[in-house]
Every structure is written in C-alpha cells, then in structure tokens.
Amino acid sequence: MSIKGKLAQYGIVLNGDGDLSMRGNLSARNMVKPKGSVWYVDASVTASGHGKTWGKAFKTITEAVAVASNYDTIAVAAGDYDEGAVINITQEGLRIIGSGSQTRQVSLWYTSSASHHIVTINAHNVEISGMAFYQTKNNKDCIRVSTTASYFKAWIHDCWLSGAGTGEYGVHTGTTYDSPDIMVEDCQFKDFATACIYANTTRGIFRNNILLVAASTIGIEHVPNSGDRPDQMYIGNKILGANSSDTGIKITNTPSALTYMILENLIAGCNTTITSKATNDAACILNYTGDASGGALINPSAD
C-alpha cells in the first residue's frame, strides 16, 4: 500500500494543494479537533485563493471574516493588514489567531486611511490572540467590544496594542452595553491617548498585562456606567507611567465596596497609582509601587 493509502486509513488525506488535512475527530488522549472550519490569511500571497489552505490563503482578514461561520478559526500569517474598514465580528465562537501566538513574528492589524475602530466584537465567545494592533486615528480604538448589545466571554490574549492619535483606547468595552466575563490577559499596551483599557463590564478579568502609560493618560479605567458592574478583577498587571499627570488604575463613578478587586499589581512612574475611590481593604490589596528600594506596598486606606 502507498504512503498516501496508509495515511487515508487514519483519516489523513492530501488535498489538491498538497496539504495534509484530517477527516473526523483527532483523538490522542484528551485532544480533539476544534469545532468549525479553519480559514487562512497571508498578506504575502499574490492573489486571494479559496482560503482553505496556506497555499490558497486569503490576502485580507476581511475576506476570511466574510466567509467564516460560528466557531470557525482564522489563522493569520505574519504580515501587514491594513483592511480599510472596520471589521465587525458577529460569528459566535470565532477565533482569530495571529502568528504572534507561536513566534515573535508579527501579524500587524492597523488602519492608515479611513477613521474607524480596527475591530468590533458583537458576538459571544470570540477569541483574538497573537495579533499586533496599531491605531493611528483620533477617537478610535483597537478593539471595541459590545457595540450593538451585551455579548459574553470575549477573550483577548497575547496581543500587542499601541496608539498614535488622540482619544484612543486599546481595549474598550463600550459605554452602553455590558461585556460580561471578558478576559484580557498577557497583552502589552503602549501610548494610548486616553486609556489602555476601558472596563465597563460585569465579571471582567484583566490580568498579567504590561501597560506603558503615556503622559496625562490612564492605564486601566474602571467605569461602571450602569449599576456596579460587579465582580471585576485587576490582577498582576505591570503598569509603567510617564511621571506626567498619569494614573495607573482609575476608578470612576461610585461602585459599591467589594464589587471589584485590585490585587498584586505593580505600578511605577505614575503620578497617581490608584485613585481615591479604591478605599475598601478587601477590594484593593497587595499592590506595589516601584521605588529605589525595590517597591513599597500601596496603603489601601491612603489611596
């Protein structure tokens, strides 16, 4: 029997482009093939193909999002992606995975001409990882969540986000709708003109991020615009300010005590570490401010 025939016995086939594909579920102990189809995007291809293999990849993320269904995966190769218009994700469970998830290569997603958010998330269970975002337009964000209704469980991780305009945010959960159970982790933020993260969400978790805060701006802005938006957690973030009227973590409006937790964050170089509304000892504990001696515990009763 040929090698091709032996592979077929195990459900592994060669398609017309010479790429391997798997029929059915892949089982190896507890490993299962992800639900949905995989679409491939590579800015270096001469022209867009059918998007089902790297050899016939789409040239733009826009094309892949247009054909993707619920729980599909879009794999994005290293390259520059200037899509020209906002990409609105409406497919539940869609995953957009850039090359930065596995390597230090960059899948750079940006906007150079029209003024728009780079991507909006209007679906449940959306995951974005391994992408680099660069927003140059005023009053627009890299990632805006829940612009048309309340959507659950957005997961943004292992991304690089930076700005070069005014009125920008890196990740913005919106001012009208809730984004329950959003998780933003292991990302790096740099030079946003308003705040790196704007959190108006219930049960949001923002952890292990690196935030480089520009002068007169904010690292994380906790904004419960409707009720308390309870059960927020800001854990283990590293926040470095410009020592120029900047704030590490800012609590606006008047959330009730014990509706959020600020835990084990390191804040250095910010004029204000944590604003005066973070006064509950059980909600704001074990945060540190950097100094020449290696760091000092922020006194919750004084912040």
- Cα dist from 183 to 168, 201, 243, whole Å: 20, 10, 28
Q: Are 189 and 211 in contact (CB under 8 A)?
A: yes
Predicted local distance difference test score (pLDDT) of residue 259: 78
| Per-residue tens of pLDDT for the chain, all 303 residues | 555 555 555 555 556 565 555 555 555 555 555 678 999 999 999 999 999 999 999 999 999 999 999 999 999 999 999 998 999 999 999 999 998 755 556 788 888 878 899 999 999 999 999 999 999 888 999 999 999 999 999 999 999 999 887 888 999 998 889 999 999 999 999 989 999 999 999 999 999 999 999 999 999 998 887 777 888 899 999 999 988 889 999 988 777 766 788 888 999 999 888 886 655 545 777 788 765 445 566 655 443
**What DSSP designation does 293 have?**
T
Q: How far apart are CA 12 and CA 131, in angstroms?
A: 30
Predicted local distance difference test score (pLDDT) of residue 301: 45
Predicted local distance difference test score (pLDDT) of residue 291: 56
Predicted local distance difference test score (pLDDT) of residue 302: 40
Q: How far apart are CA 254 and CA 277, in angstroms?
A: 8
Predicted local distance difference test score (pLDDT) of residue 243: 83
Give CA angle at 114 (168, 80), nearest 5°: 85
> Which neighbouring-strand residues pair with 223?
none
- Cα dist from 100 to 30, 61, 107, 133, 187, whole Å: 26, 16, 7, 12, 11
**What DSSP designation does 27 have?**
-
Predicted local distance difference test score (pLDDT) of residue 256: 72
Q: Please tell me the pTM assigned to this model.
A: 0.85
Taking the domains of the chain in order of start, what are their residue ranges?
1-33, 69-297
Predicted local distance difference test score (pLDDT) of residue 128: 97
Structure tokens at 196: 């790196």
Q: How far apart are CA 296 and CA 303, in angstroms?
A: 13
Q: What is the 3-state secondary structure (H, E, C) of 137-188?
A: CCCCCCEEECCCCCCCCCEEECCEEEECCCCCEEEECCCCCCCCCCEEECCE
Report the top-level CATH class of 69-297. mainly beta
